[in-house]
Amino acid sequence: SPWNPLFQAMESEISAAFDSGEPEDVLSRAFKLAVTREDICTLQPLGWLNDRIMNFYMGLLVERSKKEGYPAVYAFNTFFYSKLSSTSHKGVKKWTKGVDIFEHDVLLVPIHLRIHWTLLVVDLREKTIKYFDSLGQRGDHICKTVLKYLEEESREKRKIELTASEWTLHSMGTEEIPQQNNGSDCGVFVCKFADFISRDKPIIFTPEHMPYFRRKMVWEIIHQQLL
């Protein structure tokens, strides 16, 4: 097929990112982040994605959302939720300095639970807060924590009271979203949940797609461009 040479060029580039050079080599710079070869190597099979890869990928999703035809997306940093849950709105109110999160359609909150990545999604159009966990654990308390944050952020930044009763909070069930079949793919699941949601697309991938998604993400991060 005409795609073959392109695909081969991409494949050799991805392999080179993993295999040649020093761990501290910087392979991509954007969003105030420098991604090194060591970071990229977490995208090898069964690697654990780190904060830098997660935050960089969220940055790519936000960039894409500025194009015509995409919902307006805001992504919180991976450190946001742990700071919020250990302090309160006061501890994180500076994080949105100069940003009105309520001007967006979708808010992405990647969450690091010690050794597991999950995703919380606020849809401001629908007034829903949904929790996505590829190991099927419920996150009702996480949804409530974020709703409380939204109430305080709205009061503080816009002087508008949010009506909590108008909001729907929901932990996605194992029959609603794909589940990981190993102990290391949670970060890739979070990135792909966020990718599909930020295009308003139904989540139709499976665990079998993970090796392909990992390699694709290497190329996307190096080129700072989503395929």
Catalytic residues: 116, 133, 186
| Contact between 177 and 132 (Cβ < 8 Å) | yes
Q: Are 105 and 72 in contact (CB under 8 A)?
A: yes
**Beta pairing, strands 168-171 & 128-132:** parallel
Q: In angstroms, rounded to a whole number, what is the distance separating the alpha carbons of residues 193 and 207? A: 12
Could you give the CA distance from residue 68 to residue 64 in angstroms, rounded to a whole number?
9
Give the DSSP H or E segment for 27.
Answer: strand 26-30
Cα–Cα distance measured from residue 16 to residue 215, given in angstroms and rounded to the nearest whole number: 12
Task: With CA atoms as reference, report the closest residue to 210 among 47, 62, 59.
Answer: 47
